[in-house]
Amino acid sequence: MQHSSFEIQYKSFKDASELSEQDQFLINETRKIATAAYAPYSGFKVASLAQMENGTMVHGTNQENASYPIGLCAERVMLAAISTIAPQVEIKNICISYISDKQGSDVPIAPCGVCRQSLVEFESRFSGNIRLLLTGQSGEVFEFNSVSDLLPMAFKKNNLIS
Ligand code: THU
């Protein structure tokens, strides 16, 4: 028997002002986009914004439904848009932010498990890593070098028997 473990490394910044101007732009845009989410049931509006290798930006917001389980997370709305309009273009950076009707928004949130799996799939389509910034409307920013850092032992295409 052998004990094994995973270590997840990330950086935390007290405030967006500690990051580069390019990152601050990405963060500010993401924070604004959250206002446009369709989340009348949870009151929890999420925005995900990707910066592509060619400099373009593509975003997604969560889309809820009166039939609760069919609602979509912001991250997967964004990934579906990218995979539709620019399937060959690599994502360099993603920022995720939110606004809540019921609580403040000064601590970062991390993507749900399903979205982590989708983010890892997208990263595996290209050779490079997708850097991830997580933040609320203010306060701390967490930086992960790769979306895969958030999902150790992810299920990947090489796990499928061909
Ligand atoms: N949500 C996202 O959009 N992304 C996540 O990673 C976590 C949760 C949405 C789904 C739902 O519309 C609302 O947040 C509350 O769970």
Please state the domain extents for the chain.
11-159
Pocket of ligand 1 (CB under 6 A): 39, 42, 44, 46, 62, 64, 71, 73-75, 111-112, 115
- C-alpha triplet 108, 63, 46: angle, nearest 5°: 15
Look at residue 161 in the predicted model and tell me its pLDDT.
80
Q: What is the rounded end-to-end Cα distance, in angstroms, of the chain? A: 31
71-104 pLDDT, tens digit each: 999 999 999 999 999 999 999 999 999 999 999 9
The edge-to-edge listing of strands for the beta sheet with 57-61 is: 11-13, 141-144, 131-135, 91-100, 44-52, 57-61
* Catalytically active residues, by annotation: 75
Q: From the alpha carbon of 110, which atom of ligand 1 is closest?
A: 6
Ligand 1 center to 3 CA (angstroms): 34
- pTM over 0.95, yes/no: yes
Residue of 35, 59, 62, 79 to test ligand 1 pocket, by largest number of atoms within 8 Å of CB: 62
Q: Tell me, what's the pLDDT at 88?
A: 97
Q: Which two tokens stand for residue 55?
A: 């400099």
Ranges in the chain, pLDDT < 50: none
CATH-assigned architecture of domain 11-159: 3-Layer(aba) Sandwich (3.40)
Taking CA atoms only, the protein residue closest to ligand 1 atom 2 is 73
